[in-house]
Structure 1
Amino acid sequence: MPDILPDATAEFARAIGPEPDDVIREMDAQAESEGFPTVGPAVGGWLQLLARLVSARRVFEFGSGFGYSAYWFAQALPDDGEIVLTEVDAEELDQAREYMARGGFDDLASYELGDAIRTVGEYAGPFDAVLIDNEKHRYREAFEAVRPKVAEGGVVIADNAVTAGPIDFEALSALVKGEDTGDVNEHTAGVADYLERVGADPAFETALIPLGEGIAVSHRVD
């Protein structure tokens, strides 16, 4: 899945971001060899920075894969912080546990196998940072499930806000602008629906960071 920035600009963004450690480098190598979609180091650096900016203590992820984004978040959490990883693939969740342990973050992490939208209902808030990276057609459902648990001053970050394998960017752009596009696939429609929902919510201010495949960052102001 290509970055949405020119290669030279994307490489520059990675170069000036936080330096990945050996565990991140190994995860990057795994993602490249397997063709596994991660947010990548440029976006990972932003996840870490956003968590620091809101003084995050608790993080919830809708979709964690083998722990790439969680590892970046964990580097910004205090020793008594918590990050909840969710994943439907047991093997990937086991890999996430191994990577988090190797980085010294296992004590911060809770690992939940199964549907993230059901899982979030089992946790009390507040969460200071939330990553939405589950099925694209369920982004709005994920937001509705976690919205009451987002701390004032916290952030909700949605990956693939611009692109991903099944997302049609031209159709997505037209939908966001309120134009008629005809039939679109459920992934594109789901991201557009999410962006419309969070963008219309008076409790949140939303902006786009055009790195990786695009992240929409929504700051809870009320």
Structure 2
Amino acid sequence: MDLETVERYIRATGASHSEIQSEMADYADENGFPIIGPDAGAVLRMLARLTDAERVFEFGSGYGYSASWFLDGGADEVVLTEIDEDELDMARTFLDRAGDADRAQFEHGDALETVDAYDGPFDVVLIDHDKPRYAKGFDKAREKVPEGGVIVADNMTRGPIDLDALTAYFADDEPLPEDASDGTEGIANYVEHVRADPAFESFVLPVGSGLCLSTRVAER
């Protein structure tokens, strides 16, 4: 059994896109835009349901694909952040057409700065922006996440990273290559950072491009 077979099985038995999400996915395919996909999207939807999410914060929202899954899961409010104003406008249009824009906040700018304007709490936080700044995003959000809340980060197994180097680093205690990309170093730093935090339990879920789920298990 190989990884491709597992992925085909997951995809065949997994979540389906809504009509609007299908349009969003088609746009991603046509323009080479990275999205989390329906399998990771289903995880986000379930996290919203399991936490009975009142508020979700996203570090990096693109044109609203991941937010659509949180909203499908019943989140009362999703705060989208995006540095690209055109993409944020697309998110507003897509979510409005889906009938969900009234439960979304659209923030143009740097997510690491935007998050400071919100007191929280956030039941779920998605980190999906610049890989070298993942750990900073976690630190900005951790005190705003209540016990039982979840911080989830994308691109743990696929994306602008070297999975072989990361596997050797964590499984065999080998150093990262000297020419490791910023993305690879950023993900290695993030996983080490969250695993060392005693207030959270973390693990990597090999769905989509790989998700790291960190659940707060201690009071703030």
TM-score range, shorter chain: over 0.9
Give the whole-Å Cα distance in 2 for the aligned partners of 1:182 and 1:28.
34
For residues 60-114 of structure 1, give each alpha carbon's deviation from its aligned partner in whole angstroms, at most 9, with x where no partner exists.
Answer: 0000001000000111125xx1100000111100000011111111111000111
Letter aligned with residue 41 of structure 1: P
Give the whole-Å Cα distance in 2 for the aligned partners of 1:10 and 1:169.
16
Please list, as runs of the form range in 1=range in 2, the aligned pairs for 1:55-74 lying within 5 A after superposition: 55-74=52-71
Q: How many residues are paired up?
A: 215
For residues 120-145 of structure 1, give each alpha carbon's deviation from its aligned partner in whole angstroms, at most 9, with x where no partner exists.
Answer: 01101110001000000000011011
Structure 1 stretches lacking a partner, 5+ long: none
Give the whole-Å Cα distance in 2 for the aligned partners of 1:26 and 1:188.
31
Contact 1:48/1:73 (8 A) holds in 2: yes
Give the whole-Å Cα distance in 1 for the aligned partners of 2:82 and 2:16.
27
Query: 1:132 and 2:127 equivalent?
Result: yes
1:45 corresponds to which of 34, 42, 46: 42
Q: Where does structure 1 differ by over 4 angstroms across 4 or more consecutive aligned residues?
A: none
1:90 corresponds to which of 82, 85, 92: 85
Structure 2 stretches lacking a partner, 5+ long: none
Sequence identity (%): 47
Look up the SS of the partner of 1:27 in the other structure.
helix
TM-score calculated relative to the size of structure 1: 0.92
- For CA contacts below 8 A with separation 6 or more, give which structure has more relative contact order: 1
Contact 1:198/1:204 (8 A) holds in 2: yes
Give the whole-Å Cα distance in 1 for the aligned partners of 2:3 and 2:177.
28
Query: 1:100 and 2:82 equivalent?
Result: no
Look up the SS of the partner of 2:146 in the other structure.
strand
CA RMSD across the alignment: 1.4
2:166 corresponds to which of 172, 179, 182: 172
Contact 1:176/1:195 (8 A) holds in 2: no
2:197 corresponds to which of 186, 197, 201: 201
